[in-house]
Amino acid sequence: MWLTKIIGFSCKKVSALSDKKVHVGINLFEQSKLSLHLLICDGCKNYVRQSAILDQILKQQLHKATSENSNDNEHFKMRIISAINKMQ
Percent helix / strand / coil, the chain, rounded to 5: 90, 0, 10
Q: Looking at per-residue confidence, does 19 or 71 come out higher?
A: 19
Q: Would the pLDDT of 87 be above 80?
A: no
**pLDDT number for residue 78:** 78
Range(s) of the domain holding residue 78:
2-87
Distance, CA of 15 to CA of 37 (rounded, Å): 11
**pLDDT number for residue 10:** 87
**pLDDT number for residue 35:** 93
Give the chain's domain count: 1
Q: What tens digit of pLDDT does each residue of 3-62 get?
A: 556 566 789 999 999 999 988 999 999 999 999 999 989 999 999 999 999 888 888 887
Judge residue 44's burial from the number of C-beta atoms within 10 Å of its C-beta, 0-12 exposed, 13-18 middle, 19 or more buried: buried
pTM as predicted: 0.65
